[in-house]
Structure 1
Amino acid sequence: MRRSFYHYLMTERDPHKKDAVTLFANDVYLDVGFPKQSENYQEISQYLELNGDYLPEMTIFDVAWERYIEKDQA
C-alpha cells in the first residue's frame, strides 16, 4: 500500500535546510486542514490552490509530487 503524500512529505522536513521542498514540507506540517490521507494529485493540488497561501508557486508542489512518485516506485 502506498503511503499518503503527507506522510512522504514529512520525511522532507528539516529545520535547517532552506530548499523549496523542505520549506513546503515544514509549512504543510503546520497546516491543520491539509488532506493528510490523500494519495490523489488532483485533490491535493486543488486544496493547495485554494488554501496554500504558504506555497509561493505550484511548481514546488509538482517537484515534491515527482519525488513522492519516484520514492514510491523505488
Structure 2
Amino acid sequence: MAYRESFYRYLMTQRNANSSDEIAQFANNAQNDQTFPKQEQSYEKLSDYLELNAGYLSSMSIFDEAYQSYREKMSY
C-alpha cells in the first residue's frame, strides 16, 4: 500500500493569506484549529469533525471541493 499524506498536510499546501479563494481561507483557518484531526484521511471522519467543530467553514461544499482535489492528487 502506497503512502498517502493526510488531508491536513495537503490542505496546508493550499494556504495563502492574501487570497480570497475559499479553499485558501479554509486552509488558513484550519492551520489555527488546534484540534483539527491532522493525521486523518477519511472523508467521513473529517466531515463529521468539521460539521461539529469548524465554525470558520462557511459551507461544507468548500470542504467537499478541497477533499476532491486531495483525492485527485493522492491517486497516482
* TM tier, smaller: over 0.9
2:13 to 11, 26, 29: 11
Shift of 1:61: 0.2
Distance 2:58 2:19 in 1: 17
Shift of 1:17: 1.2
Residue type matched to 2:26 in 1?
F
TM-score (norm 2): 0.94
Gap regions ≥5 residues in structure 1? none
**Identity %, equivalent residues:** 47
Name the residue aligned to 2:50: 48
TM-score (norm 1): 0.97
Shift of 1:73: 1.6
Q: CA RMSD in A?
A: 0.7
Shift of 1:63: 0.2
Name the residue aligned to 1:61: 63
Distance 1:64 1:40 in 2: 13
Shift of 1:15: 1.2
Gap regions ≥5 residues in structure 2? none
1:29 to 31, 43, 57: 31
